[in-house]
Structures are given as structure tokens and as C-alpha cells.
Amino acid sequence: EDQVTQSPEALRLQEGESSSLNCSYTVSGLRGLFWYRQDPGKGPEFLFTLYSAGEEKEKERLKATLTKKESFLHITAPKPEDSATYLCAVQADRGSTLGRLYFGRGTQLTVWP
């Protein structure tokens, strides 16, 4: 069964304190791994898609990396406005409807000044 596990469940950082969020996955053929940001009461906001091991993508203070078993979302010098829940999702390559995502439970990030 396809599974996505995120850690930690919650993370509190002081402004400027860099850290990483983890997403480990088991899926029968990875089509893509997605990172989303979700603010309270809102739908997920797309951040990155990674397709193959070794791939990296950056956006402002965020950098996502991918290996064959896990992905990391690195946050460099975070600011309070980076506080949100970060969701990881995978799309399977075989036996699955194109576009269907399997989500982890998310990491709730709080950045305090």
C-alpha cells in the first residue's frame, strides 16, 4: 500500500533558524512528489514538484530535494510568515488515476520572532 509519512508533526523555529522537514514515501512507481503549503482554513498552495532522485528545486527561502525514498524541504532563515502546515504528496506511476495524490499528515511549522 502506498504511504507517505512526514516528520516532525510540529516544528517551532526562531526567526532565522534554518531547519528541514522530512517526507518519506513508499509507492509503486513514483510519478511525482509534491510539496504544498496550507494555511488554516485554506486549500493547499502548490510549492514544488520533484520527479526523479537527485532533483532539487528552490523558491525564496525554500529548497526541496528528492531521493529514492524521501524528500526534504529545507527552510533557510525562516520568517514568521513562513508559519503554515507543509504537506507532502506523491503521485503513483502505475495502477492509479493520473493526478490522484496520496498525502502525508503534514508538518505544522511555527516561526516566532
**Interaction site with another protein (CB under 8 A):** 4, 31-32, 34, 36, 41-46, 49, 51, 87, 89, 91, 97-101, 103-106
CA-to-CA dists, residue 98 to 1, 29, 33, 55, 101, angstroms: 17, 13, 13, 21, 9
CB of 108 to another protein, least distance (A): 8
CB of 97 to another protein, least distance (A): 5
Helix/strand/coil (H, E, C) string of 42-92?
CCCEEEEEECCCCCEEEECCEEEEECCCEEEEEECCCCHHHCEEEEEEEEE
Q: CB nearer to another protein: give 18 or 28.
A: 28
CB of 75 to another protein, least distance (A): 21
